[in-house]
């Protein structure tokens, strides 16, 4: 049975994630309230602008309910800005910017540069098998440190870009911006296996 998968829909590329979930045969739903969040069994936090997302989480009073669900072990997939929110610490964020410490990584916001420095790369991900995974990096966070319990699933030029720890999966890139749904399927399979 497929769990209820929510996509944080305050800002960013949430609609694309919902499209990929539908492509995978899952009816994901948009999360904008604490009540909707409480109905989630798994969550995707999309890319977007991390400082804006943190402010909106506070405005919509979602920050504390989200922190509690993450601490309780809710399966979560964070992409780009989602990775920043789930990290242990962030550099180059706004003063006092909150991270939820759901995965033991330190990230640097926009670590790969500004919008003009966006790029695509093919990544080798053993867990996905087959062809390389095409990754789209847009103002991507750079992982500066990964803790001992973090499994690095893919690297770009030696730097971790896809990491997992327990029920949390994060990517520096935007998997929803390609036609390859394998990473979303991988997340869904891990949810179903728990």
pLDDT of residue 166: 95
Cα–Cα distance list, 34 to 164, 168, 191 (Å)? 26, 20, 21
Inter-residue contact 32 to 4 (CB < 8 Å): no
pLDDT of residue 2: 67
* Listed residue (168, 170, 178) closest to 135, CA to CA: 178
79 beta partners: 171
pTM: 0.94
Indicate left, alpha or beta for 113 from its phi (over 0: left) and psi (-120 to 50: alpha): left
Catalytic residues: 80, 174, 176
Per-residue pLDDT 10s for the chain (194 aa) are 567 899 999 998 899 999 999 999 998 999 999 999 999 999 999 998 888 898 999 999 999 999 999 999 999 999 999 999 999 999 876 766 789 999 999 999 877 767 777 889 999 999 998 899 999 999 899 999 999 999 999 999 999 999 999 999 999 999 999 999 999 999 999 887 65
Q: What is the largest CA-CA distance in the chain?
A: 43
Q: Which residue has the tokens 């497929």?
A: 2
Helices 14-23, 182-192: crossing angle, 10 deg rounding = 70
Domains of the chain: 5-192 (3.40.50.880)
Q: Determine the Cα–Cα distance for residues 181 and 175; give it in Å rounded to an integer.
A: 8
Cα–Cα distance list, 59 to 56, 64, 105 (Å)? 5, 11, 26
Residue 132 three-state SS = coil
């Amino acid at each position: 049975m497929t769990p209820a998968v929510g996509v944080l829909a305050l800002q960013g590329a949430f609609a694309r994630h919902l499209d990929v979930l539908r492509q995978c045969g899952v009816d994901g739903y948009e999360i904008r309230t604490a009540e909707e969040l409480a109905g989630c069994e798994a969550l995707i936090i999309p890319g977007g602008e991390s400082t804006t997302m943190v402010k909106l989480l506070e405005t919509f009073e979602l920050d504390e309910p989200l922190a509690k669900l993450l601490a309780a072990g809710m399966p979560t997939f964070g992409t780009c800005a989602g990775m920043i929110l789930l990290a242990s610490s962030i550099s180059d964020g706004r003063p006092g910017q909150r991270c939820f410490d759901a995965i033991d990584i330190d990230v640097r916001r926009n670590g790969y540069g500004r919008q003009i420095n966006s790029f695509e790369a093919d990544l080798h991900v053993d867990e996905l098998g087959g062809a390389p995974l095409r990754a789209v990096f847009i103002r991507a966070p750079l992982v500066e440190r990964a803790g001992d319990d973090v499994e690095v699933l893919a690297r770009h030029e030696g730097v971790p870009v896809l990491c997992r720890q327990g029920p949390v999966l994060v990517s520096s890139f935007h998997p929803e911006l390609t036609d390859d749904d394998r990473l979303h399927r991988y997340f869904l399979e891990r949810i179903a296996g728990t």
